[in-house]
Every structure is written in structure tokens, then in C-alpha cells.
Amino acid sequence: MNPPIVLITGGSRGIGAATALLLAGRGFAVAINYARQADTANALVQRIEAEGGRAIAVQADVGDEAQVLAMYAQVDAKLGRISALVNNAGIVDVKARVDEMSVQRLERMMRINVVGAFVCAREAVKRMSTRHGGSGGVIVNLSSAAARLGSPDQYIDYAASKGAIDTLTMGLAKEVAEEGIRVNGVRPGLIDTEIHASGGMPERAFQLAHTVPMKRTGTAEEVANAIVWLLSPEASYVTGATLDVSGGR
């Protein structure tokens, strides 16, 4: 039997990379999307291959429709039709109040985190849906605890982009439930990855750890475990759900 095929956007580092390693270990052929750091993505492919798995690296900015279409075309040609999408690529921006946010900043945030996730989901549905001749599949969208907390004085634009992801999960799950596709979300809390450095606050997760009921940051693997479960047949009756992986925060 052919192995199941998963596309992980932003799969080269952090939560995406941890998910890629777990899924490769479970027999998935893994397409690892990245934006800029080809070396990091290629090193992960080599690691998966060294462990006996199958993976490819695919460059694309998910905020650019033409690049997303080219990414899917590459995955179709090199691995085949996906049965799982981890809609994981996402960005934060530097700390700012709403009264300081430019339209350029807001448009970049929404283009990558919201439009990118929609277009990646759209292309997945075209390949998975029984309505389009597919044989079903699973989508997991990466939200954030920020969608519930609002992120005042840090980045409400990011929090709002993740609120949109929660709505995408809920609505799309209902839209394609009869077409063999489950759609769920994961809301990570403070996870130790490089995303905080990209927002100019490398120590952010550790500095805020005292606000977490469990009094610690989470690991990328702890989030990946939830994603892998939602993708698995053990979650066969779960759709439209968003699972908090946030230490109680």
C-alpha cells in the first residue's frame, strides 16, 4: 500500500519540524514547506531519510498564491495526492499597540496567517474531497492561545489572525464533513521555538512562563503530539474542534 502523504507548511523548524519527524516515524511521506531557510529544510529531509523515512523540501511563501500552487504541483508530482495537511506556517511581528500598526504590517500579517491558510486549505480540499474525486483526508490548522487572550500590548493583529483560523476550522469542518474530510485546530500556548526571536523577543516564552498555570513553557513535540493525534484514525469522530495545548493558560 502507498504511504499516506502529508504537507506541512512551515515544516522546517519549530512545531512543524517536530510534527514532520513524528509523522515520518509513523510511515507518512512528508512534504516539508519552508519560506527562506533551505539549509534547515534540507537538513530535516536528510535526517528523516537517515531514519528510513521519505521526505521532500518545498520552498513557497504561503502568502503568495502562485507559490502555493507551484508548491502543490511539486508535491503532486514528487509524492502524489496528499491525504493530510498541517496548516502550520505563521508569523508574528514586533511588539506594537494597535495605535502604532501600519496598514502594510496588517496586510502582511493577514496575507500570510489568514489568506495563506485559506489557500492552502482550498488546495487540500480540491485533492481530498470526495466531491472532487478524492478519497478523503484530514486538515489540522495551527491557531494560538492568542486567539482567546487577545495579546494586548504585544500583537493584537497576530491574535486576530488566529481568531480567523479558529473560524476557518469551525466552518470548513462543517462544509466538508460529508466529503470525507475532518478539519481540526490546535491552539498552542507559550512554546519554546524561534518564532519569539522573529518578533524581537527571543526570551518571550520563558519570561511569560509564570503566567502559565503549569509554570513552564511547552515544547514543539508536545504540540506535535496533539497534531499527530488529530490526524490519526483515533480521532475519527473529531471534527471542527480546536484543542488547547497551553499548560492551562
Active site residues: 158
d(CA 106, CA 103): 5
Q: How many residues bind ligand NAP (CB under 6 A)?
A: 32
35 touching ligand NAP, by CB under 6 A: yes
For the chain, the first-to-last Cα distance in angstroms comes to 42
Residue 195: CB minimum distance to ligand NAP, A: 3
9 touching ligand NAP, by CB under 6 A: yes
Taking CA atoms, 228 is separated from 21, 46, 133, in Å, by 10, 21, 25
195 touching ligand NAP, by CB under 6 A: yes
Taking CA atoms, 139 is separated from 24, 185, 208, 249, in Å, by 17, 8, 30, 25
- The answer to whether 230 touches 138, Cβ cutoff 8 Å, is yes
Pick one of 29, 55, 56, 89: the residue that binds ligand NAP (CB under 6 A).
Answer: 89
Residue 21: CB minimum distance to ligand NAP, A: 13
5 or 86: CB nearest ligand NAP: 86
Binding segment (CB under 6 A) for ligand NAP, from list 19-27, 46-54, 84-92, 167-175: 84-92
90 touching ligand NAP, by CB under 6 A: yes
Burial of residue 123, with CB atoms counted within 10 A of its CB: 0-12 exposed, 13-18 middle, 19 or more buried: buried
Taking CA atoms, 104 is separated from 89, 93, 94, 101, in Å, by 19, 12, 13, 8
151 touching ligand NAP, by CB under 6 A: no
Interacting residue ranges for ligand NAP, rule: CB under 6 A: 9-16, 33-37, 40, 61-63, 88-91, 112, 142, 144, 188, 190-191, 193-195, 198, 205
